[in-house]
Amino acid sequence: MKFETAAGPNPIDRLNIVGQPTDRIDGKYKTSGTAPYAYERHDIAPDAAYGYLLGSAIAKGRINSMDTTQARAAPGVIAVVSTLDMQPLPLSEHNTAHLFGGAVVEHYHQAVALVVAKTFEEARAAANLIRVDYARVKGKHDLATLAPTAPPDKAESPEKENENPITRKGAFEAAYAKAPVKLDARYTTPDQSHAMMEPHATLARWDGDKLTVWTSNQMIAWAKKDLAKTLTVPEDRLRVISPYIGGGFGAKLFIRADVVLAALGAKAAGQPVKLTLQRPLVANNTTHRPATIQRIRLGATRDGRLTAIGHDSVSGNLPKGDPETATAQTKLLYAGANRLTSLRRAVMDLPEGNAMRAPGEAPGLMALEIAMDELAEKLGMDPVEVRIVNDTQVDPEKPERPFSQRQLVECLRQGADRFGWSKRSAKPGQVRDGQWLVGMGVAAGFRNNMQMKSAARVRLDSKGVVTVETDMTDIGTGSYTIIAQTAAEMTGVDLKDVVVKLGDSDFPVSAGSGGQWGGNNSTAGVYAACVKLREQVAQKLGFNSGEVDFAGGKVRAGNRSVSLRDAAHDAPLVAEDGIEYGEKNEEKAQQSTFAGHFVEVGVHSYTGETRIRRMLAVCSAGRILNPKSARSQVIGGMVMGAGAALMEELAVDKRFGFFVNHDLATYEVPVHADIPAQEVIFLDEVDPLSSPMKAKGVGELGICGVAAAVANAIYNATGVRVRDYPITLDKFFEKLPAVA
């Protein structure tokens, strides 16, 4: 199905099932421990051996030699695979560093050997017996040192394809120089880890020359293509299965060492092998969010209107990596005639930087939305009003292109009213609650909406059961449920009569999970397949497909009504189709999502301890397909934003090039006690230009802007401005107001 014009009325608009706050279909399996994750597939490989990966002890250099003699002779060992056994494996489309093979070391904890044994403990013990002689080379590990000379660089990531390194509109320098009110400030965000609950894990099994992997991966089609290239296995001899994923956040968009080494280990051992990356390798061997150093310059008239917007961001990555696209939202969020954004990348020898939790907008808004608050203070204006007066209904860099839907002002106004913003003290450090200094902060949230091809197969059987098959994944976002809701709405059956099968490369290729593109696109693909199934049903039952209605398990037209199951009484009906978007869709309108984030914090006047007291997000994101799971996504994003603001930071050992706090004991993330009451409001809207579902993504919108709202609340509470994340008490304790 080609989607090239605005969606008109369709069966989804009935909202009998779609749009309802429905419990997660997979919830009972996950809460009971019966959802089969990759490492737990005892049902399909009860004889699986255990793999244990050895990571490099240096960040850059070569391996002179490797002695595996003791490891091979250790109890229970079945096979040992060394990186010196083979040439570097081919580099796939989505990988920056070689995942295995050869003597060259590109980053710390790069996979250098795999031990396969009868038990996990035996594999781990044997891996510790491998002796590796390295030739270390001095690497580049300090972004602050490298940033001044970092050149402009173009990002070509899946989410920001061909992002230009420098964009200009108007005459920024001249406008900034003339502006009566100016801001020029530097902000930093640290390296961060995904820290998902389920580490990267794979079970690999060879059946002759055919390989099947049960793995934890967000993008099945990408994984199949990249794994085939890396292992030089024909795609038709490869199957990738990933029905349940315990969190990914971008780290599992691409194949990593676990799936490659599990496959190599299974080949060497002659039996299935399962492998999970130990937590330190999740931080150092896979991907992370790169640190940024951002400079923001704002020029405004005295009534608060921006006349000049400049945003420069520098980040580091391996030679073939991309910069963090932290200027993405600055190109679109606020009006202003004169604009300059630039991305720069320093070549570094740290592990690969790549997509993580709303890449681009998340760290970019951490800086931009503090800058907007600082500008508001210089102007003597309310921070909410400064954002409102700079709203735009068209793309600021392409004024001929309007936004398909943009209700940022409504998000801010409704949020301010619900949060009690009028009670905020404009002067910082004035509100106390016992020993606590109390402040409020606001930030705009922004995240683009991306249209991606997505397909599905739908089957109707003689019992009236509708089965949906698509390689779409569920990373904890509720894909099973919204896909079932879509199929039920389109075919007129109860939700209990829909079976959803996901995460298998034998199924039609979907959009996959990432970039908050999964929900809207995957359900649009199911919609397209259901349209084709409806046509088959109508034809089989002798109806005119244009006049037929599907509801209550029946097919109706005029005074005639037939049970849906009758259409498949002699044989199942199967339909396959997908959504495909017109090439000029992006030229017609800019599709984005918006939010107003409000936070209240308390900062202890004696200790400097910061506690978030309450949080509110008002979201504008098209039709909400399932308010219950959407709320869950947004509050999860708000928690991640709180973590980014107050605690998340990978500490870099700048001598040896690795992340020191590479486990969940020392990489701090929020816990229940850190997060109080959270409220989420969804504006009632649809976006007919997004898809037949008239929905958009919403999950990552919950992250974008939250950290800055926390930072701004801390400033309002204490009068101390911190521009370097995370905002730990050592950065402002000495500047706290004197204790009375």
pLDDT per residue over 347-403, tens digit each? 999 999 999 999 999 999 999 999 999 999 999 999 999 999 999 999 999 999 999
b/e for 12-34, b at 16 or more Cβ within 10 A? bebeebbbeebebbbeeeeeeee
- Return the closest-CA partner of residue 1 out of 567, 503, 533, 514: 533
Between CA 731 and CA 673 the distance in angstroms is: 22
Helix (H, G, I), strand (E, B) or coil at 122: helix
Q: What does R_g of the chain's alpha carbons equal in angstroms?
A: 27
301: how many CB neighbours lie within 10 A of its CB? 13
Alpha carbon 362 to its chain's center: 10
Is the pLDDT at 545 greater than 80? The verdict is no
- Return the closest-CA partner of residue 165 out of 11, 312, 25: 312
303 contacts 389 by C-beta, under 8 angstroms: yes
CA distances from 226 to 93, 94, 455, 494 (A): 7, 7, 20, 39
Whole-number percent of the chain with pLDDT over 90: 97
558 contacts 546 by C-beta, under 8 angstroms: no
Summarize the confidence of residues 614-637 as an average pLDDT: 98
- The neighbouring-strand residues paired with 201 are 276
219: how many CB neighbours lie within 10 A of its CB? 28
Tokens encoding 417: 């009213």
Between CA 290 and CA 380 the distance in angstroms is: 35
- The neighbouring-strand residues paired with 113 are 54, 82
- 583-594 tens-digit pLDDT: 888 888 999 999
User: pTM for this one?
Assistant: 0.98
Between CA 654 and CA 462 the distance in angstroms is: 65
pLDDT band with cut points at 50, 70 and 90 for residue 164: confident
Between CA 687 and CA 7 the distance in angstroms is: 8
- 99-127 tens-digit pLDDT: 999 999 999 999 999 999 999 999 999 99
Between CA 529 and CA 517 the distance in angstroms is: 19
CA distances from 566 to 218, 347, 532, 553 (A): 37, 64, 17, 10
Between CA 633 and CA 636 the distance in angstroms is: 5
Between CA 301 and CA 304 the distance in angstroms is: 5
φ, ψ (nearest 5 deg) of residue 610? -105, 130
Helix, strand, coil shares, percent, the chain, to 5: 30, 30, 45
pLDDT band with cut points at 50, 70 and 90 for residue 163: confident
Is the pLDDT at 698 greater than 90? The verdict is yes
Between CA 541 and CA 570 the distance in angstroms is: 12
Q: What pLDDT is stored for residue 162 in this prediction? A: 67
Between CA 51 and CA 556 the distance in angstroms is: 57
pLDDT band with cut points at 50, 70 and 90 for residue 455: very high
Is the pLDDT at 721 greater than 90? The verdict is yes
Between CA 125 and CA 233 the distance in angstroms is: 32
Between CA 621 and CA 629 the distance in angstroms is: 14
- Return the closest-CA partner of residue 221 out of 158, 169, 168, 277: 158
- The neighbouring-strand residues paired with 396 are none
Between CA 129 and CA 73 the distance in angstroms is: 10
> What DSSP string describes 250-269?
TTTSS--HHHHHHHHHHHHH
- How many residues comprise the chain? 740
Q: What pLDDT is stored for residue 258 in this prediction? A: 98
Between CA 404 and CA 697 the distance in angstroms is: 14
Q: Are strands 498-501 and 398-402 parallel, antiparallel or unpaired?
A: unpaired
pLDDT band with cut points at 50, 70 and 90 for residue 616: very high
CA distances from 563 to 10, 16, 459, 568 (A): 21, 19, 16, 10
Structural domains in the chain, CATH included, are 2-35+451-585 (3.30.365.10), 401-449+591-740 (3.30.365.10)
- Return the closest-CA partner of residue 376 out of 267, 317, 300, 437: 300
589 contacts 402 by C-beta, under 8 angstroms: yes
pLDDT band with cut points at 50, 70 and 90 for residue 720: very high
pLDDT band with cut points at 50, 70 and 90 for residue 158: low
b/e for 427-461, b at 16 or more Cβ within 10 A? ebbebeeeebbbbbbbbbbbbbbbbbebbbbbbbb
- 396-427 tens-digit pLDDT: 999 999 999 999 999 999 999 999 999 999 99
691: how many CB neighbours lie within 10 A of its CB? 27
The active-site residue, picked from 122, 163, 649, 700, is 700
Tokens encoding 460: 């109707």
Is the pLDDT at 692 greater than 80? The verdict is yes
Lowest mean pLDDT, pick from 39-43, 163-167, 465-469: 163-167
Summarize the confidence of residues 537-554 as an average pLDDT: 93
Between CA 518 and CA 658 the distance in angstroms is: 33
Q: Are strands 554-557 and 201-207 parallel, antiparallel or unpaired?
A: unpaired
- Return the closest-CA partner of residue 696 out of 617, 626, 622, 629: 622
Summarize the confidence of residues 498-506 as an average pLDDT: 98
b/e for 609-618, b at 16 or more Cβ within 10 A? ebebbbbbbb
- Return the closest-CA partner of residue 214 out of 243, 247, 175: 243
- 271-319 tens-digit pLDDT: 999 999 999 999 999 999 999 999 999 999 999 999 999 999 999 999 9
Where do the DSSP E strands lie in 491-635? 498-501, 549-551, 554-557, 560-563, 573-581, 592-604, 610-620
Tokens encoding 561: 């009504």
Angle at CA of residue 616, ends 613 and 617, nearest 5°: 150
Is the pLDDT at 238 greater than 70? The verdict is yes
- 640-670 tens-digit pLDDT: 999 999 999 999 999 999 999 999 999 999 9
pLDDT band with cut points at 50, 70 and 90 for residue 155: confident
Q: What pLDDT is stored for residue 740 in this prediction? A: 62
472 contacts 513 by C-beta, under 8 angstroms: yes
377 catalytically annotated: no
Q: What pLDDT is stored for residue 547 in this prediction? A: 86
Q: Which residues, other chains included, contact 258 with Cβ-Cβ below 8 Å and sequence gap of 6+? A: 53, 200, 201, 202, 215, 275, 276, 277
Tokens encoding 669: 């993330």
166: how many CB neighbours lie within 10 A of its CB? 14
- Please give the mean pLDDT across all residues of the chain: 97
Summarize the confidence of residues 33-45 as an average pLDDT: 95
pLDDT band with cut points at 50, 70 and 90 for residue 191: very high
CA distances from 554 to 483, 541, 550 (A): 20, 11, 6
Q: Which residues, other chains included, contact 46 with Cβ-Cβ below 8 Å and sequence gap of 6+? A: none
490 contacts 422 by C-beta, under 8 angstroms: no
b/e for 243-255, b at 16 or more Cβ within 10 A? bbbbbbbbbbbbb
275 contacts 201 by C-beta, under 8 angstroms: yes
Is the pLDDT at 618 greater than 70? The verdict is yes
287 contacts 196 by C-beta, under 8 angstroms: no
Q: What is the 3-state secondary structure (H, E, C) of 612-673?
A: EEEEEEEEECEECCCHHHHHHHHHHHHHHHHHHHHCCCCCEECCCCEECCCCCCCCCCCCHH
